[in-house]
Chain A
Amino acid sequence: MTGFEGATLAIDLLNITLLTILFVIAIAIARLRSLFAIVMLSGIYSLVSATWFVALDAVDVAFTEAAVGAGISTALFLGAMVLTSRTAKAEKGATKIVPLLVVIATGAILIYATIDLPGFGDPTSPANTGVGVDFIERTYPEIAIPNIVTAVLASYRGFDTLGEVGVVFAAGLAVSLLLGFGERSLGASVRREDRVASLKKDEEES
Chain B
Amino acid sequence: MIGAAAIALVVAIALMLVRALSGPTLYDRVLAVNSLGTKIILLLGVIGFLTGRPDFLDISILYALINFVSTIAILKFFRYRSFQVSLTRRGKGGS
Contacts and interface: CB of A to CB of B under 8 A. Distances in A.
A63 B66 CA distance: 10
A70 B81 contact: no
Contacts of A74: 70, 73-74
B59 interface: yes
Contacts of A41: 20-21
Contacts of B20: 37, 40-41, 44
Given A3-B49, A63-B62, A70 B17 contact: no
Contacts of B63: 47, 50, 66
Contacts of A158: none
A2 interface: yes
A79 B44 CA distance: 29
Interface in A1-50: 1-4, 6-7, 10-11, 14, 17, 21, 24-25, 28, 36-37, 40-41, 43-44, 47-48, 50
Interface in B29-74: 29-30, 32-33, 36-37, 40, 43-44, 47, 49-53, 55-56, 59, 62-63, 66-67, 69-70, 73-74
Contact of B17 (A11, A21, A62, A187): A21
B87 interface: no
A11 B47 CA distance: 8
A149 interface: no
Interface residues of A, number: 51
Given A48-B40, A59-B59, A70 B70 contact: yes
Contacts of B43: 51
A21 B52 contact: no
Interface string B18-30: 0011010010011
A148 B26 CA distance: 43
A44 B34 CA distance: 9
Contact of A40 (B3, B30, B47, B51): B30
A37 B47 contact: no
Interface of B: 2-3, 6, 10, 13-14, 17, 20-21, 23, 26, 29-30, 32-33, 36-37, 40, 43-44, 47, 49-53, 55-56, 59, 62-63, 66-67, 69-70, 73-74, 77, 80-85, 89-90
